[in-house]
Amino acid sequence: MGITGTASGNQLTFTINSNAEKPTYLVIRMNDLEKLVVLADPLESNAPPPSGTGVYNLKDSPYYADNTWMSDVTEIIQQAIDDASAAGGGVVYVPAGVYKVKDILFMKSNVTLYLQGGAVIKSNPDRSLYKYTTSREGKIFIDPMIRIDHAPNAKILGRGVLDASGIAIMDKNSASPTYLGYRRNVIVGNFSNHVTIEGIIIKDSTTWTINGIQGGEGFTVRYVKIINHKNPYQYKIMNDGIDLCGTRNALAENNFVMTVDDALCAKSTKNHFPMYNVRFRNNIVFSSCAGLKAGLQSLSPMYDVWFEDNDVIQARRGIVVEATSGNQQMHDIHFVNTRVESFVFTSMGRSIPVEIEARTAPVSDVYIDGVLFERSAYNPIHIYGSSNTNAVKNVTFTGLNMCGEVLADTAEAWIIEGNYTAGVCVTSRSDKGL
């Protein structure tokens, strides 16, 4: 980013542009210390007023919600949401303070949940309070913090925090039958059009952080900062960052994600609902799994999916396209102007720059244009299918830059083409470079 730091004794000084239209999201390494994350947004310009017609302020009558985290206010917040909905829509205003919640919050149509800067809605960490469900694989989940079901035009905005208390709630006793159970999403959505999540910080999810909007269109996630557990050697949990699942005409832009599992994913998770016009743009991610991924679910056709101008600070796999659940075609997948800074080895395997796999469905027409890998991965690029039906066809690398060298053909690119692959092409780009 062209930022120069000045070290003086134990102080590091640097300057960012406070007038920038885009956010400045930085992960700063200083010697072997824990990483410092700086999340600087432009000043807020569209905050709603704290009172007035159509505003339901949690500190005002009739709510008087405790903002010291001493008592549970789940029912109070839900009542404000319901009141706004009954009036045809409105803003539920959450002033600065810490609000304790346990049960799920249900968003409603045309309602905006606005979190003022300094406002924190935080889950109660007492695991004994939560009911749970067990998946077919034996994984144990509790309800998400927020559900957006059949709630068109719902919005969650502001500069406040949603904190799932995920690691505290999770059972971390390896001898327990519920080890790594009681895992929690933050936001899950279904059958809701034109939903927006913007500006907020989301902390400590222990399964897919944002999972939506299945069966919905026009889902937008922008300027969202996700800070999750990130140590795969301590707990390898499926705490994906932003998953655009079973949705279309969707956009995730200018977000920051730090997490163990996959950072940005497009997943076709809904039967009979083709997924298309999905954009991930100008995001910054830090992951110990996949940085940018299309798949693994392919329950309906997925196409016209674009990852543009994204920055992967760390990942085990930089770019991934995989069909490993579902049998519907994945095609017309684009990765444009991607920078992958570094790789990490984990218990899941050694690092791979690009992996494309058609195990249960065909994958075709994948375009990787202008990707820079600043460091070498342990493994080469992997491309493979599983059968004549589930094959990988037509993968084009243009301007593939490995450690400063733009590669001109497949012989230079260190690509392993497994069985059932065809049409893999590597070309340099003469008109422009990274």
pLDDT digits (tens, 9 = 90+) for 13-49: 999 886 777 789 999 988 888 899 999 998 898 899 9
How far is the C-alpha of 419 from the C-alpha of 125, rounded, in Å? 49
Q: Is 32 part of a structural domain of the chain?
A: no
* Cα distance between residue 111 and residue 91, in whole Å: 6
Query: 225-229, 324-328, 347-351 — which is least confidently predicted?
Result: 347-351
CB 383 within 8 A of CB 393: no
Nearest partner of 369 among 421, 286, 306, judged by Cα = 306
Spatial neighbors of 32 by CB under 8 A, at least 6 apart, are none
Euclidean distance between CA atoms 174 and 357, whole angstroms: 33
- The answer to whether position 434 is within a domain reads no
Cα-Cα-Cα-Cα dihedral sign, residues 189, 162, 293, 167: negative
Kindly state whether residue 20 falls inside one of the protein's structural domains. Answer: no
Selection from 376, 375, 413, 377 nearest residue 395 by Cα: 413
Query: Contact, 310 vs 264, CB < 8 A?
Result: yes
Tell me the CA distances in angstroms from 292 to 168, 238, 260, one per residue in order.
28, 15, 13
Examine residue 35 and state whether it is found in any structural domain, yes or no: no
Q: pLDDT-derived band of residue 244, with 50, 70 and 90 as boundaries?
A: very high
CB-based contacts of 52, cutoff 8 Å, min separation 6? none
Distance of CA 323 to the CA centre of its chain: 19
Taking the C-alpha atoms of residue 406 and residue 370, their distance in angstroms, rounded to an integer, is: 9
Contact 327, 297 (CB under 8 A): no
pLDDT of 252 above 60: yes
* Coil vs helix vs strand at 382: strand
Query: What rounded mean pLDDT belongs to the chain?
Result: 94
Question: Is the separation of the CB atoms in 123 and 164 below 8 Å?
Answer: yes
Phi-psi region of 181 (alpha: psi -120 to 50; beta: other; left: phi over 0): beta
Least reliable range by pLDDT among 30-39, 100-109, 192-201, 221-230: 30-39
What is the mean pLDDT of the segment spanning 199-221? 97
d(CA 161, CA 141): 22
The CATH number linked to 265 is: 2.160.20.10
* Helix%, strand%, coil% for the chain, nearest 5: 5, 45, 50
* Phi, psi at 333, each rounded to 5°: -110, 130
- Structure-block tokens of residue 11: 């102080």
pLDDT number for residue 432: 43
**DSSP conformation class of 272:** T
Cβ neighbors of 55 (< 8 A, separation 6 or more) are 48, 49, 90, 91, 93
* pLDDT, position 267: 98
Tell which residue, 224, 218, 160, 167, has the closest CA to residue 192: 218
Q: How many domains does the chain have?
A: 1
| Res 434 pLDDT > 50 | no
Q: Read off φ and ψ for residue 157, nearest 5 degrees.
A: -130, 170
Q: Are strands 36-40 and 24-28 parallel, antiparallel or unpaired?
A: antiparallel
Q: What is the mean pLDDT of residues 180-204?
A: 97
| DSSP H or E segment with residue 74 | helix 74-86
Written as six digits, the tokens of 215 are: 């069966």
The whole-model pTM stands at 0.95
The answer to the question of residue 16 being in a domain is no
Residue 184: pLDDT band by 50, 70, 90 thresholds? very high
- 27 belongs to a structural domain: no
The phi and psi torsions of 51 (rounded to 5 degrees) equal: -150, 170
pLDDT band at 66 (very low <50, low <70, confident <90, very high): very high
Give strand ranges (E) for 344-408.
352-358, 363-373, 381-385, 392-398, 401-402, 405-406
DSSP, collapsed to helix, strand or coil, labels residue 157 as: strand
Long-range contacts for 401-410 (Cβ within 8 Å, ≥24 apart)? 401/370, 401/371, 401/372, 401/373, 401/433, 401/434, 402/353, 402/373, 402/376, 403/373, 403/374, 403/375, 403/376, 406/433
Q: How far is CA 76 from the centre of its chain?
A: 29
Q: Which domain does 262 fall in, by range?
A: 45-427
With b for 16 or more beta-carbon neighbours within 10 A and e for fewer, the 400-414 pattern comes to: bbbeeebbeebeebe
226 is a domain residue: yes
In a domain, 12, yes or no: no
Mean pLDDT of 233-247: 95
pLDDT in tens, 300-317: 999 999 999 999 999 999
Band (433; pLDDT cuts 50, 70, 90): very low
Q: Which one, of 299, 312, 294, 228, lies nearest residue 268 by Cα?
A: 299
Question: Which is more confident, 433 or 196?
Answer: 196
